[in-house]
Structure formats: C-alpha cells, structure tokens
Amino acid sequence: MANSPLRGSGTEKHPWSPSKGELDSRTVQFAAWTGGIKEQSGKFADFLDYDEIVPITMMLKNITYLYPEDIDFIFLFDEYEELVTSNITGTEIGQSQRYHSLISDFRERVGIEELSPNIFQGQFAAFKPASDPGHILCLKALLHILHDTGDIYCYVAVIKLVNGNEKLVQKMAETSNADVICYDGNPVVSSFPDMNLPHPEKGVIAYQGKSFLTEQKELLNYAGVPVGKLVIAIDSEPFSASKKRLLLSRLLPFLTSTGISILLFLILKVRVFDKIGQLIAVQRMVAEGRGI
C-alpha cells in the first residue's frame, strides 16, 4: 500500500473496501458467465469434430450479444493453439500469431491481466480503447474445453476490457463515495471528467486547482505479478473539514474537563489548601511558644 493519508481519520466510511469489493464482485460475476460458456463444451466439441465453424461463431456472437456489459470478446483456439474463430466477424484467422498472447500461458484461470495492443489491428482496430493503447487491462478467463478422455480439445479466451469501462468505474465511485482511477503505466479508466491525471505524489493528486487525498492498491494478475494500480481519491477540502470537526468534537470535551479541573484546584487552594497552610503556621508558632 502506498502513502495513505486517508487512513485512520475515523470521520468517514473508508472508501477502499467498497470500491475494491465492487471490482472483486465484477470479477466473480465474470467468472460465473465464463463458467456458463464452459458448460457448452459438448457443443463446441461436436461442431469442431465436423469443422462446422459458422455455428461456433454464431454461438460466440450470441453470448456477447446477451451479455454486452460483461463480455467484449471471445476467441476460440484449437488444441494446436491456432485461432479458429471469434465473436468478431472477419477475424484474421490467417494471422493467428497476433492473438497468441491470449493463450501464451495455458493455465486455466480468471482474473485481471494485461492485454497485448497487437490484438487491436485489422477487424479489431475499431475496438481499440480510447485510453492509452499501449497499456490495456482486462478481465480475462482462459477456459479448457476437454475431450471425453480428459485431454484438451480447444481453448476459449473470454475478455472484458477495463480500459474505458466507464460503467464499472462509476459504479466503484458510487459505492465508495470517492473518485476512482485505474492505472497501468498511465490512467486507463477514471471517474474524473478526463484522463489527464498525474500519478499520486506523497499520497496526493493535484487536479484542476484541487488536492485529492489518495490511497492505492496494486492489481495482481493470476501469477501474483502487479499489472496495474487502483487509486481512490477524495477531495481534501471537505475531508479536512471533517477532520477539523472530529478534532473539535474531541478537543471541546477535553478543554471543558481541563477548565473544570483548574477551577476546582483554584477553589480548593483558596478554601482548603491556604487554610490548612495557615493552620500549620499557627500550630508551629504555638509549639515554639510565641503565641498568636
């Protein structure tokens, strides 16, 4: 975790948990949809057995049509790692190497990953994110479709872009009551009006004349390697006002009790301690035979 001026204020509900929770929730939901795709293993196998690619393409198109907010792309590769089809009409099957990064690691998994910008060429060029094209984050699932023997029959890569995913980041901002920025080198999506945002310096982002207190957390891929950062930002002005209110709410009782204690001490000094001192002085004079 980076510098965290948000931590320990006690004034507001900490924004981190709901924001990160929303991303985790979306990942779980994404995993659920991809699990549904894997349930179609039998159909994929039957069509591939007879080289019926068009029905597979239609299946992939229908899935992304039914769940447009959850899935952007689906790629199907055969057991030899060659691209067979995708949900995008006209995918360059003859240039399968362009998409090989999607299955360069064969492990079956679901999570956040970096996406090679090389994919966004040809028919996919129209889908290139408007944010930094050299830094593309996505939710990705790599599924194994198996033979009855248990051997891998084909691979299915399912992708939902994080770059430019305004619905996701706005939902995260709403649940955390704070602004949210996702970085992968540069900002890839943000709840701020534009993407021209600096990186936090000493836990603070300066934007349009305002200072925003931040907290950040690394986004890790399936291998535990950092692929980006999720940053929560809160306007420092109302936040500082809240801290002042907290300080006053705690300081006022303290000052009141301290004032009462001082007043009690003065009263005791005049009415008790001074009288005791005078009585001791008289007793000493009597003991010395000097009288009063």
92 and 219 together in one domain: no
Instruction: Write down the pTM of the prediction.
Output: 0.72
93 and 184 together in one domain: no
141 and 191 together in one domain: no
pLDDT value at residue 76: 92
Query: Could you say which of 214, 236, 258 is where a domain stops?
Result: 236
Does residue 245 lie in a domain region?
no
218 and 155 together in one domain: no
81 and 170 together in one domain: no
Total domain count for the chain? 2
Residues of the chain with pLDDT under 70: 1-23, 90-94, 130-133, 238-292
175 and 209 together in one domain: yes
CATH number of the structural domain spanning residue 184: 3.30.450.20
178 and 157 together in one domain: no
122 and 203 together in one domain: no
Does residue 279 lie in a domain region?
no
pLDDT value at residue 214: 86
87 and 132 together in one domain: yes
pLDDT value at residue 75: 93
Domain that holds residue 183: 166-236
Does residue 271 lie in a domain region?
no
Q: Give yes or no for a contact between 234 and 178, defined as CB atoms under 8 angstroms apart.
A: yes
pLDDT value at residue 2: 37
96-102, long-range: CB within 8 Å, 24+ apart, which pairs? 98/122, 99/75, 102/75, 102/77, 102/140, 102/142, 102/157, 102/159
Query: Could you say which of 161, 187, 215 is where a domain stops?
Result: 161
111 and 214 together in one domain: no
Does residue 268 lie in a domain region?
no
Does residue 291 lie in a domain region?
no
Radius of gyration of the chain from its Cα atoms, rounded to whole angstroms? 33
- Max CA-CA distance within the chain? 129
213-218, long-range: CB within 8 Å, 24+ apart, which pairs? 213/5, 213/6, 213/239, 214/2, 214/3, 214/5, 214/6, 215/1, 215/2, 215/4, 215/5, 215/6, 215/7, 215/15, 215/16, 216/1, 216/2, 217/1, 217/16, 217/20
Does residue 179 lie in a domain region?
yes
Does residue 9 lie in a domain region?
no
Query: Could you say which of 161, 182, 210 is where a domain stops?
Result: 161
Does residue 68 lie in a domain region?
yes
pLDDT value at residue 74: 92
Q: Give yes or no for a contact between 27 and 70, defined as CB atoms under 8 angstroms apart.
A: no
27 and 146 together in one domain: yes
74 and 183 together in one domain: no
